[in-house]
Amino acid sequence: MLEHIVPALSALLEPVRLLALFAGMFAGLVFGMLPGLGGVAAVSILLPFIYLFDSYAGLALLLGATSVIYTSDTITSVLVGAPGSPASAPTAIEGHALARQGKAATALGVGFLASMVGGLFGAVILSLAIPVAGPLVLALGTPELLMFAVVGLVFAAGMVGKDIAVGLAAAAFGILLGTIGAAPAAVDFRFTFGQPYLADGISLTIVALGLFAVAEVVGMLASGGGISNERLPLGSWREGARAFVAHRWLIVRSALIGVFGGFVPAVGASASTWIAYGHAMRSTKDKSRFGKGDIRGLAAAEGANNATVISDLVPTLLFSVPGGPAAAVFLGALFSFGFYPGPRLVRENPELMYVIVWSVAIASVVGAVICFAITPLIARLTRIRFAIIAAPLLLIMVAGAYQATQSFGDIAMLLTLGVVGWLMKQADWPRAPVLVGFVLAKPMEQYFWLTVQIHGWSWLLRPGVLVIGALIVIPLLLRLAGHLRARRSRAAAAAAAGIRMVAPLRKERRTDTRIGLAVAWLILVVFVYAAFETAGFAPDSRLLPMLAIAPGLILGAFVVVRETRRALGEGVVSDSAAVAEIPYLLTILAYGVGIWLVGFDIATIALLIWMLIGCARMRLATGIAYAALILATIHGMFVLMRVSAPAGLLDLAILS
Partner 1 sequence: MSVIDKRLLFAAAACIVVAGPANAQEFYAGKRIQVIVPFSPGGATDVAARFLEKYLERHVAGNPDIEVVNRAGGGSVLGANWFAENAEPNGQTILFTTSSTSNPFVLGQEGVEYDLAAMRPGYSLPFGAVAYIAPSAGVTSASEVKDADVPLLYGGIAAAASDLPALLSFEVLELDIKTVLGFPGRGPIRLAFERGETNFDYQFTPVYATQVVDMVAAGRATPLWTGGSVAADGRLTDRDPAFPELPSVYEVYKDLNDGAEPSGLAWDAFQAVGTATYNYGLTAFLPEGTPDEAIAAFEAAIPAINADPEFQSESAQVVGGYQLIPPSEVEGPLLAALRPSPEIRAYLRDLLGAKYGVNF
Instruction: For the segment 617-636, give every residue that binds partner 1 (CB under 8 A).
Output: none
Q: Which residues pair with 190 in a beta bridge?
A: 181
How many residues of this chain bind partner 1 (CB under 8 A)? 56
**Using the rule CB under 8 A, which residue among 446, 511, 534, 587 binds partner 1?**
446
Q: Is 572 exposed, middle or buried (0-12, 13-18, 19+ CB in 10 A)?
A: exposed
Q: Which of 58, 86, 111, 184 binds partner 1 (CB under 8 A)?
A: 184
195 near partner 1 (CB under 8 A): yes
Q: Does 538 bind partner 1 (CB under 8 A)?
A: yes
**Which member of 95, 178, 303, 325 binds partner 1 (CB under 8 A)?**
325
The whole-angstrom separation of Cα 556 and Cα 577 is 26
Which DSSP letter does residue 211 get? I
Which of 136, 288, 292, 335 contacts partner 1 by CB under 8 A? 335
**Residue partners of 374: CB distance under 8 A and separation at least 6:** 29, 75
Q: Does 196 bind partner 1 (CB under 8 A)?
A: yes
640 lies in the binding site for partner 1 (CB under 8 A): no
Measured from the CB atom, is 462 or 566 closer to partner 1?
462
Binding status of residue 342 toward partner 1 by CB under 8 A: yes
Query: Quick one: 31 or 372, whose CB is closer to partner 1?
Result: 31
Residue 340 touches partner 1, criterion: CB under 8 A:
yes
Q: Which of 313, 314, 331, 548 binds partner 1 (CB under 8 A)?
A: 331
Residue 614 engages partner 1 in binding (rule: CB under 8 A): no
Q: Which of 406, 416, 564, 633 contacts partner 1 by CB under 8 A?
A: 406
Q: Within 10 A of 550 (CB to CB), how many other CB atoms are there?
A: 13
Label residue 470 exposed, middle or buried (CB < 10 Å: 0-12, 13-18, 19+).
exposed
Residue 181 φ/ψ, nearest 5 degrees: 110, -160
Are 76 and 389 in contact by the 8 Å Cβ rule? The answer is no
Q: Which residue from 454, 466, 572, 593 is in contact with partner 1, where contact means CB under 8 A?
A: 454
CA dihedral 399, 402, 404, 405 (to 10 degrees): -160
The least distance separating partner 1 from the CB of residue 432, rounded to whole angstroms, comes to 25
Cβ atoms of 63 and 372 within 8 Å: the answer is no
Question: What gap in Å lies between CA 483 and CA 464, rounded to an integer?
Answer: 29
Assess 329 for contact with partner 1 (CB under 8 A). Answer: yes
The residue among 18, 100, 94, 118 whose CA lies nearest residue 368 is 118
Which H/E stretch holds residue 129?
helix 104-139
319 burial level (CB within 10 Å; 0-12, 13-18, 19+): middle
Strand-pairing partners, residue 182, are 189
Sign of the CA dihedral running 622, 628, 631, 637: negative
Could you say whether residue 322 binds partner 1 (CB under 8 A)?
A: yes
Closer to partner 1 by Cβ: residue 329 or 630: 329
Long-range CB contacts for residues 529-538, cutoff 8 Å, separation at least 24: 530/176, 530/191, 533/190, 533/191, 534/190, 537/183, 537/188, 537/190, 538/183, 538/187, 538/188
Per rule CB under 8 A, is residue 328 in the interface with partner 1? yes
Choices 331-339, 481-489, 576-584, 608-616 (CB under 8 A): range interacting with partner 1 = 331-339
Q: Which of 55, 405, 416, 564 binds partner 1 (CB under 8 A)?
A: 405
Binding mask 128-147 for partner 1 (x = CB under 8 A): ---------xxx-xx-----
Measured from the CB atom, the residue of 50 and 607 that comes closer to partner 1 is 50
Question: Residue 19, interface with partner 1 (CB under 8 A)?
Answer: no
Rounded least distance, CB 388 to partner 1, Å: 34
The nearest distance, CB 311 to partner 1, in angstroms, is 16
- Is 534 a residue that touches partner 1 (CB under 8 A)? no
Residue 404 near partner 1 by CB under 8 A: yes
Cβ atoms of 104 and 91 within 8 Å: the answer is no
Rounded alpha-carbon distances, angstroms, from residue 15 to 21, 22, 355: 10, 10, 14
By CB under 8 A, name the one of 9, 154, 252, 266 that touches partner 1.
266
Residue 343 found at the interface with partner 1 (CB under 8 A): yes
If binding is defined by CB under 8 A, does position 460 make contact with partner 1? no
* 349 is a site residue for partner 1 (CB under 8 A): no
Nearest-angstrom CA–CA distance, 97 and 67:
26
Quote the least distance from Cβ 510 to partner 1, whole Å.
Answer: 43
Asked if 319 is part of the footprint of partner 1 (rule: CB under 8 A), the reply reads yes
3-state DSSP call for residue 140? Answer: coil
Under the binding rule (CB under 8 A), the answer on residue 101 touching partner 1 is no
Beta strands in 154-227 (DSSP E): 181-182, 189-190
**Among residues 6, 136, 164, 186, the one that binds partner 1 under rule CB under 8 A:** 186
Interface segment toward partner 1; rule CB under 8 A; list 238-246, 254-262, 328-336, 501-509? 328-336
**What is the rounded distance in angstroms from the CA atom of residue 340 to the CA atom of residue 362?**
24
| Residue number, 182 or 573, with CB nearest to partner 1 | 182
Spatial separation of the C-alpha atoms in residues 234 and 106, rounded to whole Å: 8
* Contact between residue 188 and residue 541 where contact means Cβ atoms under 8 Å apart: yes
Interaction site with partner 1 (CB under 8 A): 40, 43-44, 47, 137-139, 141-142, 182, 184-189, 194-197, 199-200, 265-266, 315, 319-322, 325, 328-333, 335-336, 338, 340, 342-344, 404-407, 446, 449-450, 453-455, 538, 540, 642
